[in-house]
């Protein structure tokens, strides 16, 4: 597992485009972090809130699959 490169406390400018590119590259944790920051800054933006929910569900499924493989 790779270490996330984006942290909420980083002093950088986050954009939807940046999050989307990271998502397309498979860097879901980083994309999730940025979407979460953007959604917190714009709580009225349902598209961002939906994206955060979708990525959260995806992350939970991925974690569950990893746990299942370790149990075998």
Counted domains in the chain: 1
Q: Is residue 6 part of a domain?
A: no
4 exposed, middle or buried (CB, 10 Å; 0-12, 13-18, 19+)? middle
Q: Is residue 5 part of a domain?
A: no
Q: Is residue 52 part of a domain?
A: yes
Q: Does residue 33 surpass a pLDDT of 80?
A: yes
Q: Does residue 1 surpass a pLDDT of 60?
A: no
Predicted confidence band of residue 4 (pLDDT cuts 50, 70, 90)? low
The residues near 18 (Cβ < 8 Å, ≥ 6 apart) are 34
Q: Is residue 7 part of a domain?
A: no
Q: Is residue 60 part of a domain?
A: yes
Q: Is residue 2 part of a domain?
A: no
Report the C-alpha gap between 10 and 45 in whole angstroms.
Answer: 23
CA atoms within a 13 Å half-sphere pointing along the CA-CB vector of 70: 6
Enclosing domain of residue 21: 16-71
| Phi and psi based region of residue 26 (left: phi greater than 0; alpha: psi -120 to 50; beta: remaining) | left
pLDDT reported for residue 2: 63
Residue-wise pLDDT for 36-72, tens only, equals 999 998 999 999 999 999 999 888 887 777 777 777 6
């Amino acid at each position: 597992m790779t270490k996330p490169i984006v942290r909420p406390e980083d002093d950088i400018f986050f954009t939807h485009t940046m999050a989307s590119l990271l998502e397309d590259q498979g860097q879901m944790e980083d994309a999730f972090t940025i979407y979460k920051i953007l959604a917190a800054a714009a709580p009225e933006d349902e598209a961002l809130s939906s994206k955060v929910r979708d990525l959260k569900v995806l992350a939970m499924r991925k974690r569950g699959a990893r746990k299942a493989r370790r149990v075998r």
